[in-house]
Amino acid sequence: MKTLRRYWETHNGETSPLLQIHDYLRSKKTALETSDIKALAEQLKLPEATVRGVISYYADLQDNRGSMRVCQGTSCMLAGAGKLYDNLQKSSKCQVAYCLGYCDRSPVVLDSQERLLFNKQAQALAEEQQLEATAEPPQLSVRCLAPEPMVIRRAGNDYSQLEKARAAGAYSAWFKALEGSPEDILSTLECSGERGRGGAGFPTGQKWRSCAEARGEPRYVIANGDEGDPGSFIDRVLMENDPHGIIEGMLLCAYAVGASQGLIFIRSEYPQAIMRMREAITQARAAGIFGSEDTFPIEISIFPGMGSYVCGEETAMLNAIEGLRGEVQIRPPYPTQEGLYGQPTVVNNVETLVNIAPILEKGAEAYAALGTEYSFGTKAMCLNHGFARPGIVEVEFGTTLKELIAEAGGSAHGQPLEAVILGGPMGSLLLPEQWDVPICYRTMAERGIHLGHGGLVALPEGTDYRALLEHWLKFMKDESCGKCVPCRLGSEKAWHLVRHQIHQPEYRTQLEQLFGVMEQGSLCAFGQYMPEPMRQMIEYFGNRIFQ
């Protein structure tokens, strides 16, 4: 069983407690009882309260057997997924998902047999019509505005089979790197100026150097494939179409920092990505690309997420892997010093990792010549179904949002766009007069704009901002990890205000005060940054919210 699924194993040979709980609950035919908690606590040698705490935290540990996941991410919400959920619920067991990562084809449903139903197909399912009678689902579009593709070079088609990936260049940087030293990789990466693509934009070379110089064994490299930002789907596409690009990035990292254990954390909402990544690992290991003394003795495995958005935050993710509630931890210490099981750990976003091989191939100077003075290289941007030409577009840093939106053909349905959301729930809401901003970490930060993971959601004229505000707060209260009071209770209270009392203008002030408390008193970026786009909604479109 273990060898088939290659679940993550701890250093003492035990399967992670979280996965043991998951398997136990999945094997049960009846509802959870007190005796189950006792049995699990004994099996895991943990206090009953810990087991109870873990079970109550994760969406996937609730009784969702046989239910379909209906995406309620921002893009799907704007496409009417709320109504879709209500309709589907009348005839089937449904579960809310934030998000399934097909924002270019909203709304989307993942049924109980893990079949994806897009747009009209999903609507037909709700109306109990024949699926065959509906139109072909729209296809993914992957395009490049940069001088040459770096991130998306194998993302447009299925390159998950090893032979095809190798014919398209996968692992050539890896074998070349093995002829040099770990220091070669570290110094090239530092000179390239590459920054992590997971949202915070931290310099990758600096992160790897810090881990390489830290004390402790074993060392871990973790690919963060938990992409939960509604509006972003590049990580899903990379994991499905270019899994070898991610493995290659992990191997290069492991060699540079001296890691012997690799792990890819993938959200359970992405079953196809889990399957493709798992197969790619098996193929690469069998071909001797890693895993032996002759090549490089590292073990790589998959850890499936359990339905928590905040587990994309690196310290919450480490907790999840260790079998705890996915709550954010206070930093320092940073994972590079004390990460998984207290050992030096690099956590990198999957897009960051795909970038590494092209940087080594091109050389630091050529890479740094791309982009702006402060942000080097290229960025994959995601465009949701609200644009006329949705999909993934790789751009050179410095390209303006206006140019990108023009490439996307403006709004899908012809009416003018009155705003866009950039960078997911912790991002920014931007009016057309702000779209001349270049895509660049520094310039954007100077203007108070968050690039996040680079997802863009179109807001056409007539958008219901009251509904959007309520949706934002529901997401926040549902997904808050609960560790700190301002975020946990603030989001609940603010959601309640918007849902029930928003028509009374005095609640605007109360809402703004709550946002202030969350921004100032929250522990992590989730509570600190999520209020900002909501403030912008109120500032720009308040007259349509408070009536």
Ligand X SMILES: Cc1cc2nc3c(=O)[nH]c(=O)nc-3n(C[C@H](O)[C@H](O)[C@H](O)COP(=O)(O)O)c2cc1C
Task: By CB under 6 A, name the binding residues for ligand SF4.
Answer: 310, 328, 480-484, 487-488, 522-524, 526-527
Asked if 226 is part of the footprint of ligand X (rule: CB under 6 A), the reply reads yes
Closer to ligand SF4 at the Cβ: 157 or 513?
513
Half-sphere exposure of residue 179, counting CA atoms within 13 Å on the CB side? 5
Asked if 194 is part of the footprint of ligand X (rule: CB under 6 A), the reply reads no
Closer to ligand X at the Cβ: 196 or 262?
196
Nearest approach in angstroms of CB 96 to ligand SF4 is 18
Element (H, E) at 245: helix 243-257
Closer to ligand SF4 at the Cβ: 313 or 470?
313
Asked if 269 is part of the footprint of ligand X (rule: CB under 6 A), the reply reads no
Element (H, E) at 324: none
Asked if 455 is part of the footprint of ligand X (rule: CB under 6 A), the reply reads no
Nearest approach in angstroms of CB 69 to ligand SF4 is 22
- Strand arrangement, sheet containing 428-430: 142-144, 391-396, 378-383, 455-460, 417-422, 428-430
Site for ligand X in 300-329 (CB under 6 A): 310, 312-314
Closer to ligand SF4 at the Cβ: 239 or 310?
310
Q: CB of 92 within 8 A of CB of 84?
A: no
Which residue of 347, 360, 444, 511 would you call a contact of ligand X, by CB under 6 A?
347
Q: What is the DSSP letter of 479?
A: H
Q: What is the DSSP letter of 72?
A: -
Main-chain phi, psi angles of 215, to 5 degrees = -95, 145
Asked if 431 is part of the footprint of ligand X (rule: CB under 6 A), the reply reads no
Can you say whether residue 291 is alpha, beta or left, with left for phi > 0 and alpha for psi between -120 and 50 degrees? Answer: left
Asked if 175 is part of the footprint of ligand X (rule: CB under 6 A), the reply reads no
Query: Which of the ranges 68-76, 242-250, 336-344, 345-353 carries the binding residues for ligand X, by CB under 6 A?
Result: 345-353
Nearest-CA neighbor of 437 among 425, 424, 426, 423? 423
Nearest approach in angstroms of CB 479 to ligand X is 8
Nearest approach in angstroms of CB 531 to ligand SF4 is 11
Closer to ligand SF4 at the Cβ: 243 or 339?
339
Contacts of 83 (CB under 8 A, 6+ apart): none
Question: Which of the listed partners (ligand SF4, ligand X, none) does 527 bind, with a CB threshold of 5 to 8 Å by partner kind?
Answer: ligand SF4
Closer to ligand X at the Cβ: 235 or 470?
235
Task: State the virtual CA torsion across 135, 274, 56, 86 in degrees, nearest 10.
Answer: 0
Q: Are β-strands 417-422 and 299-304 bridged in parallel, bridged antiparallel, or unpaired?
A: unpaired
Site residues, ligand X (CB under 6 A): 196-200, 202, 224, 226-228, 310, 312-314, 347-349, 352, 524-526
